[in-house]
């Protein structure tokens, strides 16, 4: 059962050790800033 972290843009891996994320921008108005992601222990989410 997934655990809700209570923060925006939370992604639950459902126990999978790795994953691939794809992002698509359709007709952006201007430059799209680079995306940043970080894997953190659950007890550190939102701190």
Domain boundaries, the chain: 1-47
**Token duo for residue 20:** 């691939």
Residue 1 has pLDDT above 50, yes or no: no
**The residue to which tokens 């359709």 are assigned:** 26
Q: Across the chain, which distance is largest between two alpha carbons, in Å? A: 40
User: pTM of the entire structure?
Assistant: 0.42
Express each pLDDT in 6-40 by its tens digit: 788 777 778 888 878 787 788 989 998 888 888 88
Residue 3 has pLDDT above 70, yes or no: no
Give the C-alpha separation, 2 to 19, whole Å. 16
């Amino acid at each position: 059962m997934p655990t809700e972290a209570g923060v925006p843009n939370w992604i639950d891996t459902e126990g999978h050790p790795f994953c691939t994320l794809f992002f698509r921008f359709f007709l952006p108005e201007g430059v799209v800033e680079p995306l940043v992601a970080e894997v953190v222990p659950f007890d550190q989410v939102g701190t």
